Amino acid sequence: MRAQNRNREQDFSKNTWRSAAALAVSTALFVAYFQYEKFNASVQREMQQNAQVGRPLVGGPFSLVDHHGRPVTDQDFRGKWMLVYFGYTFCPDVCPEELEKMGTVIDAITAAEGEASINSSSANDDVAQYQHAPLVPLFISCDPKRDSIASIKEYLAQFHPTFLGLTGTHGQIKRVAKAYRLYYSAPPKAVDDDETDYLVDHSIFFYLMDPEGKYVFHFGRNETAEDVVARITAARQAYASYAVDEAKKAAPART
């Protein structure tokens, strides 16, 4: 009798733990789904507000040279989403960490879109290769004195084959940085003499630009690759929905 009671108690205990575990899993899934929907809705609201009241004045025209030595302007990327990062090849730690994260973001979004991988390291390719890419990753050097075209190409190849490096004169880079509201401070010897041992202080952001070349978000160092992927994915979905709505409004009414 006691053995039967013990068995019943054990069975009851097992069932209780199973029920509790199932409830915990269900609750976790519900919370995760709720948080995702809440996040997605907040992104869509932000996109709509940006469209209605205007966005921060971040970004603008640029005319630079890519890591194959070809002239490139912002117009070459119209119709494409851009993820823009400012850095330099002599950066000891922050830039490598952020570029690794950027590569993870590109891989995740490309895989989710089912797109074929692109490779910007081939000298025979040009900007047109990005026509079907879900996201164009740009690296803009803020140390044009030391960052030659060849060194940028070699540097970026360590992180991801799709990165496209851009550089220009000191004046050109200064104008682009100002347009993107990027803080960077290069010592006088970074411009005036032959000294090559110096550091460049700069803001640590990715900038997400929409297919019209307009600013959407920026991502800081404290945001994980997963955070960035989630926000970019939601922003692209919201943009697509907004574009469909605008197209419907612009379509002539049927009689």
Residue 32, pLDDT score: 38
- Give the model's pLDDT for residue 42: 45
Q: What angle do CA 229, 103, 206 make, to 5 degrees?
A: 65
Rounded distance, CA 242 to CA 214, Å?
Answer: 14
Q: How many CA atoms lie within 13 A of 235 on its CB side?
A: 27
pLDDT of residue 56: 67
pLDDT at 123: 47
pLDDT at residue number 89: 95
All residue ranges of the chain with pLDDT < 70 are 1-56, 115-132, 189-190, 192-193, 242-255
Residue pair 120/129 in contact by the 8 Å Cβ criterion: yes
Give me the pLDDT at residue 244, please.
Answer: 61
Question: The pTM is what?
Answer: 0.72
Q: Where are the beta strands (DSSP E) in 103-252?
A: 136-141, 164-167, 184-185, 201-202, 206-209, 215-219
Cα–Cα nearest to 234, from 213, 206, 208, 205: 208
Is 91 labelled a binding residue?
A: yes
Contact 154, 170 (CB under 8 A): no
142 labeled binding residue: no
Query: Which letter, b or e, does each residue of 93-126 get, where b requires 16 or more Cβ atoms within 10 Å of its Cβ?
Result: eebeebbebbbbbbebbbeeeeeeebebbeeeee
